[in-house]
Structure 1
Amino acid sequence: MTEKYDTVVIGAGFAGLTAARELSHAGQRVALIEARDRIGGRTWLAERMGLNLELGGTWVHWTQPFVWAELTRYGIGLAPSPTPQTASWWNGTEAVVGSPDELLELLDHPNQLLTQRSREIFPEPFAPLTSERSADVDEESLAAHIAALPLTDAQRALLTSFWTLNFNGKLGDAAYTQALRWVALTNGDWKVTFEACATYKIAGGTKALADAILADSDVDLLFNTDVTAVCTRDRRGAAVSSADGREFTADDVIVTAPLHSLGRIDFQPPLDTRKQAAVKAGQLGLGTKIWFTIDGERPHFVALGGADWPLNFFQSEYHRDGKTYVIGFGSDAHAISPDDVEAVQATLRRLVPDAVVLETAGHAWVDDELSGETWPMHRTGYLTTSLAHLQQPAGPIHFAGSDIADGWGGFIDGAIESGLTAARAILTNRAPVPA
């Protein structure tokens, strides 16, 4: 059986939800096809350890115009993360205890040195491909720049761990331009960038916004429908096949699969060699996010460990029933399991010696074949050799998602931006342009 639509959108994360809404508002008949049994993509609000916890993407900020517009549209507010009262960090040789302000101050000078060229390289942060200077530095690694800075060993250890956290991956092949793009988006102020990363959550969780976008759409939503192939039939048509034997035809198709799961889809004709090369190279967000509880409702804290630790960053979020709920991040998903209480305990105790971990929870995003990654962070060369090609359609097949956003790539904002761009390209019958 073949079902005919104006547009088929593959993936019901924020890019797919946004694109589907825009197209349905324009009067199109839209199928929104999702392999999972839920919407949200790499965001996922789920009950774990007695609370609704964000297992994936979480934080938003008013410097992110696309998500801020959506929150305003639907009257959804913010839920601030708690202000930490204490901080601890690894200076390269030992644990140090102090205040959050002290930790920020230690990171300030190194980050200012590292990111001082952010607005020079990216004068228009939401149009990175128009930068005349990015090609000069896109092949340079972030690790090399950190190594070359005039810093003490302790400063370098903190800065390396800080950016390992931001990349949620290892820095050996991390693009210097990726760090500069993030900071340019907050007008060159790394502290605001960091605030955008881990301070303000969506009231009601990411599900509240995803549900609001879906409720504002008139689409056919199909869950548990795993797309296996997309075949271009002519310049204005394509067929989408699913694992359960169904076929959908449409004038246009929007594919929002993350970069590391694009290879699961058989494109016919095959994607051009530059897109294939980008998919093969992948990106660096291959770490982990683990929730856990510790015994006692202790004062909220933040902790930054060594870059090579299984978990190198901790932030407490909630108190409930005599327990403190904490998030931990690490750069290598396979260095620690989300259900390994003892491993979490051993890592945390290097910074918080008296903490007793009770239980853990998380989702193995890197091992999830529908994602294969956490948040996308680019390798050296990606910006100038891959991004533009991934943004371009392949005939009637368009691409969207946080992986290929112009602005806040790696964030909900970037996914929404990309979904808007793809929908507008279809409605105006021309190639995508920056949103």
Structure 2
Amino acid sequence: MSEITNMMTQTFESDFQDNNKQTALQRAVVKNGILASAENMHAKTTNVPVFSIDVKTGKVSNQKQSGRCWMFAALNTFRHKMLNQFDLKEFELSQNYVFFWDKYEKANYFYENILATADQELSSRKVAFLLQVPQQDGGQWDMIVSIFQKYGVVPKTAMPESKNSSSSRELNNYLNKKLRKDAVRLRHLVETGKTSEEIQEAKTKMLQEVYNFLAISLGTPPKTFDFEYRDEKQEYHIDRELTPQRFYDKYVGVDLDNYVSIINAPTADKPYNQSYTVEMLGNVVGGKEVKYLNVDMETFKKLAVAQLEQGETVWFGCDVGQSSTRDTGIMSLDAYDVNDLFDIDFTMTKAERLDHGESLMTHAMVLTGVDIVDGHSTKWKVENSWGEKVGDKGFFVASDEWMDEYTYQIVVRKDLLTDEQRTAFEAEPVVLQPWDPMGALA
């Protein structure tokens, strides 16, 4: 191995000090920071928030200090439909309600995976993967579908936000402590030859404790509730004694089995027009399998445009922190000129970033509009869930080139797919490793 010598470092220092441009940049960056010094105003002038296709939505929601973007994005797609159908001015579905059931189900999913790997050493990569983060706030589209299909949804008035849903760090910290401790016991029960009945009895007691922990922290999910509201004409409506499932069927009414996840992962190990799933990725045991169809980016964007053209918004997953300005809400490859600032080329291809840990899906939002020029998309309107103080009252703009590089997943209706694409999606999926970047949770 070759070490760094003092002479080498002295040479580097001399070269730096002799370069007036670099010392001038040093003064600016030390005082203002990297991104503030590299921000490019041109990105804002070329991504004006005006779109030829713009689906009507209400105000943006706010996930606050939690990682529930995937839930907010899914619930927002339902909210858009309800606002228009029932002539509502403002309305939200309860994020806390689905948060409760997701945590509950993730605990059981973790226990079952611990039992399934109990014959492996703690040093096994799969066991280490499970124990590193037993559960977290993030998730995938098919995981939230499993929650909706099993537990339904409720209005936010039926189960409002709690301190621990809006700021989930403490809840996650102590829930993961419990799950890791329970993993010790479950593995010991298997190691000492306990019967499956004895193991399941122990697991049931653990789940009771999980339920108690969540109920104390988040509140008790309602079994029935009344739904009352005034529409835009100020007419009063009330529907009494609804269950969460009946409310979903009557007021949301979206057949979730008609929607599929489309990804763009241009890596050598994932040929296009092939379906994929990820081992040990899920939340509801017996729920919907996480499944994707991988397509090229041109096809990917055409499917998103087709759904927007029909007046329906699109759930999507991306790497939101790449080349994006939080305050002005611009997601563009030229948002920052960091290459010029440091005279270093940071550029990698999308496949290289995925393969080498530089990028993956970190956040889910909703596409609510797109600008079409000469038949091609040029920029996209994005509904975020960070409140109204960022972007344009909470809405962001993504350039088409940014979408190409940093968007990984959309959810669209099956009827928008070709027969060939539907056949490919329905085929037996290739199973990816648990740590594959396509298993990232938004």
The structure that is strand-richer by fraction is: 1
Larger radius of gyration: 2
Task: Judge same fold: TM > 0.5, yes or no.
Answer: no
The structure that is helix-richer by fraction is: 2
Interval of TM-score (by shorter of Structure 1 and Structure 2): under 0.3
- What TM-score comes out, normalization by structure 2 length? 0.22
- What TM-score comes out, normalization by structure 1 length? 0.23
